[in-house]
Amino acid sequence: MASRSHFHFQFFFSLFLLLLFITVTIASQCKNPPVIFNFGDSNSDTGGLVAGLGFPVNLPNGRTFFRRSTGRLSDGRLLIDFLCESLNASFLSPYLDSLTNSKFTNGANFAIVGSSTLPKFVPFSLNIQVMQFLHFKARTLELVTAGSGNFINGEGFRNALYMIDIGQNDIADSFSKNLSYVQVIKRIPYVITEIKNAVKVLYDERGRKFWIHNTGPLGCLPQKLSMVDLQNKVLDGHGCISSYNDAAKMFNEGLLHLCQEMRSELKDATIVYVDIYAIKQDLIANSIKYGFSSPLMACCGNGGPPYNYNIRVTCGHPGSQVCSQGSKFINWDGIHFTEAANSIMASKVLSAAYSTPRIPFDFFCRG
């Protein structure tokens, strides 16, 4: 009898979350969605890695919503996809994918898997993404002046929403180089400075609307948990690596301070800081409440419990296995979230409860 009651609770709670997301999404739609430019890493890459480097991202990636691989590292939509939908805007096409949307009338996505703020082996660090934007803007305005078609004009760039979601790889790479916690923390100001520089360049290009995500609990990722010697690590009450999460929180504090500083410095800019860490931590800490099982285990991977992650056999490659119900998992491939988790994240972001200041996402609608 108890198991049946539990099933009913899970079913109705999941239904409630679905209805909540639908309600928030519909309420947030606008007739004139803004042009959107996004800068980031794999958390918001909508196919840039595949388009730019030809790197294969195979099924089962994309199986839930798109029914095919689109280059997204998830079984379906990412958080940024849900946010675009909430504004009645089209999904963002990767800047490097000229075959998808040659005019990019709704904006462009410069995010690339593996990107960081500090330059490294992946050739698309944040400053490179900003340089790509500058080239894109200059060429687009040339075409507008020449009367070549329906491209984003100067007003479109001025009223655009500039989204930044990056920093996770900077922290992860630091730990992968066996730097001590103190050494990792010392690198954070340099990461923050790169984000500040990016915002200032975009501001100098007359961008005035910024939406900036902090980073999630790095120490809760199945990839990290499976690749370190946990006997030498302190785990928190949820089974996550404390030092990794503490470093993420230090980065987030620095980013929050930066956003506060820039609001004072850039008087006519709207700069919204979004606490993605708190949202993801809540999903993991209260996974049963949200209808998820095994919050630290990947749906798609190799190795089985407790983490189902093997760096030699990652999701989509020969030997990997995938769960039958991604909706029961928070984590998709050891690093990225499932569509089910992303949809709940989106509902929380759209509530504005995790935003500083508490400006709703549809504030950026045009008219």
Averaged pLDDT for residues 29-53: 93
pLDDT of the residue at 35 = 96
Q: Is residue 74 annotated as a catalytic residue, yes or no?
A: no
- Print the SS3 string covering the chain: CHHHHHHHHHHHHHHHHHHHHHHHHHHHCCCCCCCEEEEECCCCCCCHHHHHHCCCCCCCCCCCCCCCCCCCCCCCCCHHHHHHHHCCCCCCCECCCCCCCCCCCCEEECCCCCCCCCCCCCCCCHHHHHHHHHHHHHHHHHHHHCCCCCCCCHHHHHCCEEEEECCHHHHHHHHHCCCCHHHHHHHHHHHHHHHHHHHHHHHHCCCCEEEEECCCCHHHCHHHHHHCCHHHCCECCCCCEHHHHHHHHHHHHHHHHHHHHHHHHCCCCEEEEECHHHHHHHHHHCCCCCCCCCCCCECEECCCCCCCCCCCCCCCCCCCEECCCHHHCCECCCCCECHHHHHHHHHHHHCCCCEECCCCHHHHCCC
User: Which pLDDT band holds residue 356 (cuts at 50, 70, 90)?
Assistant: very high
Active-site residue identified among 116, 125, 336, 343:
336
- pLDDT per residue as tens digits for the range 201-222: 999 999 999 999 999 999 999 9
pLDDT of the residue at 232 = 84
pLDDT of the residue at 225 = 97
pLDDT of the residue at 291 = 96
Averaged pLDDT for residues 305-316: 97
pLDDT of the residue at 121 = 57
Averaged pLDDT for residues 339-365: 97
pLDDT of the residue at 23 = 44
pLDDT of the residue at 54 = 86
Q: Is residue 41 annotated as a catalytic residue, yes or no?
A: no
| Proportion of the chain above pLDDT 70, given as a percent | 90
The CATH class that applies to domain 23-221+238-291+337-358 reads alpha beta
CA distances from 316 to 17, 35, 320, 332 (A): 29, 33, 6, 11
Q: Is residue 42 annotated as a catalytic residue, yes or no?
A: yes
> Which of 14-23, 149-158, 226-235, 307-316 is the most confident on average?
307-316
User: Which pLDDT band holds residue 31 (cuts at 50, 70, 90)?
Assistant: confident
- pLDDT per residue as tens digits for the range 55-107: 889 999 999 999 999 999 999 999 999 999 999 999 999 999 876 656 799 99
pLDDT of the residue at 230 = 86
Its pTM stands at 0.91
Active-site residue identified among 42, 125, 320, 355:
42
Averaged pLDDT for residues 264-293: 97
Active-site residue identified among 213, 333, 343, 362:
333
